[in-house]
A = this chain, B = another copy of it.
Amino acid sequence: MNRLTLALDVMGGDIGPRVTIPASIKALENDPMLSLLLFGDSQQIAPLLENLPSSILERLTVRHCSRTIANHQDLSYALRHSKGSSMRLAIEAVQKGEAQGCVSGGNTGALMGLSKILLQPLKGIERPALISMIPTMTGERSVMLDLGANIDCSAENLYQFALMGSIFAENQLGLVYPRIALLNIGIEEIKGYKSIRDASEMLKKNTALNYIGFIEGDLLLNGKADVIVNDGFVGNIALKTLEGAAKNVVSLVKGNATLQKTNHICKPLFAWLVKKLFLKGSFTRLKQINPDQYNGASLVGLTAVVVKSHGGANTDAFAYAIADAALQVRQQIPAKILAGLEKY
């Protein structure tokens, strides 16, 4: 492993430094080659750094800022008023080359918007996308994109998502020739939007990609495809529907019909489910699954690594998001996507 520095927006997320700082310390403990730039309110951060060994402290720099972007702020307002905020400063650190990647649990729209402006899309990428891993019933993982960055997509956009998703899955899931599918309302060639059918034709022609055809909503979790491609509107609806259904069914099984709303596209789909079952202790098979590993989504198609942690992430989950960003930097995902674009 090589040395690297990540910039963290430690104010983002529902809880802020009380989660992100212990998570940062954990990430530094687990990865001796990692350094972190922490952007946030030093008054809140300082007490959480007491009594740390020098081996950790020397790889950790606090950059004070008093401003934050609120979680549900309107995008254009957030962008206009982003100057000096912990999120923007973290991204700017990547822009300046002080860090090689960025992690935030804050406002997803603002993170995407600022990343696009400050870090720029890769040459040839029309639209960066939001990608996340989802668990499958076979015990493997799939990746799904776009999850909300682009609500209207051309065939070319979907084709590029497939390409980026394939490179991402190769590297992050260690797969050879990952199976790519387009989410559609049927598996016949005539189904769905013209953009999807055209993207299907483009993917068929590229023999370097392992395109397997259309997939329907009921098979999202069945491990039939490693890379599930869709526009951001449908992806967002499908992912949230999965999340809601998983919660509701578990609630039904547990006889508890009182449900709470959660409204975060990056919430790990099965975290709640798996935890509940895990805590119940009666489903030992599930102990192998760690829901924290499904924390967060990544922006792909940018010149640098940006990871969006779930706003409600706990310490372990945020530490996973940091480790995930570090892995993506070391695997040079942006450079590989760029090379893939040129190759395919």
Instruction: Give the interface of A toward B (CB within 8 A).
Output: 72, 74-75, 137-139, 148, 151-152, 183, 185-188, 190, 192-193, 216-222, 232-234, 236-253, 255, 257, 259, 261-263, 265, 273, 277, 283, 285-286
Contacts and interface: CB of A to CB of B under 8 A. Distances in A.
A293 to B, nearest CB: 16
A248 B138 CA distance: 11
Contacts of A285: 255
B263 A216 contact: yes
Contacts of A247: 218
A330 B175 CA distance: 58
A46 B12 CA distance: 70
A219 B237 contact: no
A260 to B, nearest CB: 9
Contact of A151 (B192, B243, B249): B192
Given A234-B233, A237-B237, A244 B222 contact: yes
A195 to B, nearest CB: 11
A70 to B, nearest CB: 13
A251 B185 contact: no
Contact of A220 (B241, B252, B265): B241
A-B pairs with the 6 shortest C-beta distances? A218-B244, A217-B240, A245-B245, A217-B241, A185-B236, A218-B240
A244 B221 contact: yes
B238 A217 contact: yes
A6 B216 CA distance: 33
Given A233-B193, A237-B183, A242-B245, A218 B261 contact: yes
B244 A220 contact: yes
A243 B183 CA distance: 15
Contacts of A185: 148, 151, 232-233, 236-237, 240, 265
B236 A217 contact: yes
A190 B253 CA distance: 36
A187 B253 contact: no
A283 B259 contact: no
Contacts of A242: 217, 241, 245
A239 to B, nearest CB: 7
12 contacts: A185-B233, A217-B238, A217-B242, A218-B240, A218-B261, A218-B262, A221-B245, A233-B234, A234-B237, A245-B249, A249-B249, A252-B277
Contacts of A221: 244-245, 248
A237 to B, nearest CB: 4
A107 to B, nearest CB: 12
Contacts of A75: 190
B238 A237 contact: yes
A219 B190 contact: no
A131 to B, nearest CB: 16
B246 A249 contact: yes
A73 B177 CA distance: 32
A146 to B, nearest CB: 11
A30 B274 CA distance: 45
A5 B85 CA distance: 69
Contacts of A183: 237
Contacts of A237: 183, 185, 216-217, 234, 237-238
B245 A216 contact: no
